[in-house]
Amino acid sequence: MEKATDFTLPDQTGTNHSLSDYSGRWLILYFYPQDDTPGCTTEACAFRDDYALIQQKGLQVLGVSHDSVASHAKFAAKYQLNFPILADVAGETIEAYGAKGLIGTKRMTFLINPDGMIAKEYPKVTPKGHSVQILQDFEAR
């Protein structure tokens, strides 16, 4: 297993989140291309809808894109997102996790264990059903 790269990024309310804030907990860190686009909305709303179950299993969700805090605030409000989405405007965290694509951010997810190690990587994500897939993989570990 590989150690997850630390980061500190603001969420849709301007509150900073760091990987170290989640030490001792399982974390779903997902990267997505752009707020309020069809695939990204499908993926975010699935995490929203499954969030209570995700939390029951002891997992936390963080979304990351290159969009601004203001863009994230609109996106989160429009779809009542109930988890933090982080603004990586500079793209440093996106690049550190290998989610930088030729024309933007790749849709990728990392399941990070309580010790800060990457337990599973999802390099190619299909937005519909992705949150369920992660929960199934988490249960099967």
Among 40, 62, 81, 134, the active-site one is 40
pLDDT in tens, 49-86: 999 999 999 999 999 999 999 999 999 999 999 999 99
pLDDT in tens, 88-121: 999 999 999 999 998 899 999 999 999 999 999 9
- Which pLDDT band holds residue 32 (cuts at 50, 70, 90)? very high
Residue 103 is predicted with a pLDDT of 87
CA atoms lying within 13 Å on the CB side of residue 116: 11
Residue 141 is predicted with a pLDDT of 86
Candidates 3.40.47.10, 3.40.30.10, 3.40.50.300, 3.40.50.720; correct CATH number of 23-140? 3.40.30.10
Count of other CB atoms within 10 angstroms of residue 33: 18
Domain ranges of the chain: 23-140
Q: Which residues pair with 26 in a beta bridge?
A: 59
Coil, strand, or helix at residue 6?
coil
Catalytic residue check, 40? yes
Q: Which residues pair with 4 in a beta bridge?
A: none
